[in-house]
């Protein structure tokens, strides 16, 4: 069994997800709070300082959306 405090680098967990976070760059102020709070280390910061969700590892827990102070993350149903 893979043991890790952060992202499950051995087992991709993205297939468990029912909801996926979608970031609205128009609303995002690049504060990095979503990056800080993601329990699975599934958010990275791009070269322009915007957060990017790594969907292979995101479980769709929605914590990033709850913690975002700008309401810039929506949780949408997986197809």
Question: Which residues bind to ligand SF4, rule: CB under 6 A?
Answer: 21, 23, 28-34, 38, 40, 42-43, 51, 53, 58-64, 68, 70, 72-73
* Rounded least distance, CB 38 to ligand SF4, Å: 3
* Rounded least distance, CB 1 to ligand SF4, Å: 20
The structure tokens 């990033």 sit at 64
Which residue, 1 or 49, is less far from ligand SF4 as judged by CB?
Answer: 49
State how far the Cα of 27 lies from the Cα of 12, in Å rounded to an integer: 29
H-run or E-run covering 12 = none
Angle at the Cα of 72 from the Cα atoms of 67 and 78, rounded to 5 degrees: 90
């Amino acid at each position: 069994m893979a043991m890790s405090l952060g992202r499950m680098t051995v087992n991709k967990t993205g297939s468990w997800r029912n909801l996926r976070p979608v970031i609205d760059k128009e609303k995002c102020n690049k504060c990095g709070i979503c990056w800080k709070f993601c329990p699975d280390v599934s958010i990275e910061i791009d070269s322009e300082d915007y957060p990017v969700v790594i969907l292979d590892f995101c479980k769709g827990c929605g914590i990033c959306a709850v913690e975002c102070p700008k309401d810039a993350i929506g949780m949408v149903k997986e197809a």
